[in-house]
Structures are given as C-alpha cells and as structure tokens.
Amino acid sequence: MSRYSYRFRAFTLVELLVVIAIIGVLIGLLLPAVQAAREAARRTQCTNNLKQMGLALHTYHDTVQVFPPGYVTNSVTNPTTDWGDEPPGWGWGTMILPFMEQTALYEQLTGRKLSAWHTSNAESVRTNLPVFLCPSDPAFRDLSLLESDWDTEDIPLTYSSEGDDFTNAAVVGQPIQFGRSCYTACNGTEESWVFGGNLDGINGGDALIKANADGAFFRNSQTSFSSITRGTSNTIFVAESASSLGNKTWVGVPPDAVVWCKNPDRAIDNEPPATLVLFHSGPSLAEYYLTGAFLVHPPNSHYVMACGTSSYHVMGINALYGDGSVRFLSSTINQATYAISCTIDGVKNADVDAWLQP
C-alpha cells in the first residue's frame, strides 16, 4: 500500500455559486460587445449602400447631364386630383438601376413607358435589392405594402385592369407591393408635393412644386451640378427613412397611395404618396398651415412623421451628400444646420428662411 494517500475535495455550494456568478458577469460583459460589433458591421454596410447610390447618381448625371427626378410623371399643368400625380410614377431609385449593375431588372420594367403600378410590372417591382436595404432595420426583408385609405391603416392599394391594357389579369384586385427602400431622396425644407395638385383651391402642378422645392429631388426635377450653389459637399441628397416611418420604396409613386407612419408615437398619421420616395426636413409652410407651428424634424425627431428621416442606428442616421460622401448625422444636430443642409441654394420660402435665422 502506498505511503501517500490522496483526497479529492469537491466544490462547495458557495464556490460553485461564485463560479457561476463570475461566468454570468463575463457573459454580461461580452454580449453588449458582440452586439455593438454586429451593429457596427450593419452600419458599415448601410454606409456602403449609400456610397453605391452616390456613385450611381454621379454616373447618371455624367450620362444625362442632370440628376434623376425625384419621381417622374406626365407633365402636370392643370391638376384635377389632390396631389396632381400622374403615370408613369417611376422613382429616382428606378432611374439609377442601370448604374448599379441592375440593367436586367431595369429592362424588365416594360421600358418604363407603362406605369409603375401596371399589372405587367407586378412581379419585377416586388424585387428587394440589398443596396436599398439597411440591415439594421428589422423590416428590411419585407416588401412595402402600398396603402390606400386615409382613415384606416394597412388598407392595401390594389391592381386594377386599367381599361383593356393589362397583361397580367391574375393580379387584378391583388394588393400592390413594391420592393422596400430604407432610403429616400431630399426634397428640401418644404414638403413641396402638397403644392402639385388641386387641394383646397390650390391649382398647382409642376410649376408650383418647382417654386417651393429647395432640395435636389422633387417631381419631374432636373437638378444639375451647376444649380447646387451651396456646394455638393454641403448638400444632403439621400438619407435613411426607417420602416417605422412608413412603407418606403425604390420603385415609384402611385397617385392613389397613402403613406402611414408606423410609429405608434406619430405626430401625424399619414402623408401623400410622394413620401414613398422623398423626405423633407422642415420647417415647412405646408406643415405650418396644418399644425400652426414651424417644425424642423431632424434625424429620429420626436415629431414622428412619415415624411422625415430615421434609422435603427444609435443616435442618428447615415446621409449621402452631393459630393458622394456619406456622413453620420447625430439626432442632436443643430436644427437650422440640418434644414439648410437639405437645400441646394438656400431656403426658397421667405417665412421659413426668416424663422431659421438666429
């Protein structure tokens, strides 16, 4: 028998609990770091998306000598509807598809001669493109359901036969769904789309939209480098619009659509169809008439409206500037600085401009 004996002592309950507590603390420290690393990667992907859009916008300008319109309709001089929108309705995102290696999809869209909501385009417009999707947005995999009712949320806009000129009868009566976008183009301080129709006696059309839009993109816009007198490095072109601000899309603007704000804390329930592809910063004379106040709604503003900007990043959004650079804009950005950055040559409305001055 050996002169030596060994005794193996088991862990006491207290020691076991201490070890478990230490492991728990380590996991508690590790998980936020992992989540932060994942969010940093998602934010980087979002930045890269905007850089691709910037390159595509510049290439489009090199080809056509102007930037794409916010969305395109038949010329509207004497509107008969509230907003005055007409076919074909294709948005700026559709216009830059060939410059983002999406020529095949672009050519599927019936030459853009038929409307974005024509039945023959029903399958192609349901395409979700990664370049238009921020991976931090929880709804980035979902299609955008187009809504049609000003009083009740989630009532879908449906495909019609459009007379005898339809090629996909199977989708008639079905909900219209477009590929989602987490990004919208800048209309400026004003929500100029409200001046383009025949609402409350305003017989606007394209001319009145152009007179009120001070951003780079609006209905039938033809902005060029030479018209951006503030400098492209000072002018916001595109920014994030999270799914909580409504169902945004790269496709275009059906005139009968309604954009409902999905945030339960919303200040205004819904917006006109142009906000499917555009945003504005405020202050806006149109909103002043509605609310009695000049409102600036900077990134992630507490004035929650479908016409603004927002993201699921912490404390701000990514924004594409006219020179192709992408910057992170803090939610606490100076309101006047943000509003003026959304204009190409200063604020057009004298009342709004006076309100912004220190």
Confidence (pLDDT) at 339: 96
Low-confidence ranges of the chain (pLDDT < 70): 1-11, 30-37, 110-112, 162-166
Distance of CA 120 to the CA centre of its chain: 25
Distance of CA 110 to the CA centre of its chain: 25
Cα–Cα distance for residue pair 8/146, rounded to 1 Å: 70
Confidence (pLDDT) at 105: 94
Confidence (pLDDT) at 293: 85
Q: How many CB atoms lie within 10 A of CB 326?
A: 18
Confidence (pLDDT) at 100: 95
For the entire predicted model, the pTM comes to: 0.89
Cα–Cα distance for residue pair 104/61, rounded to 1 Å: 21
Element (H or E) spanning 61, and its range? helix 13-64
Confidence (pLDDT) at 164: 57
- Domains of the chain by residue range: 36-356
Q: How many CB atoms lie within 10 A of CB 83?
A: 25
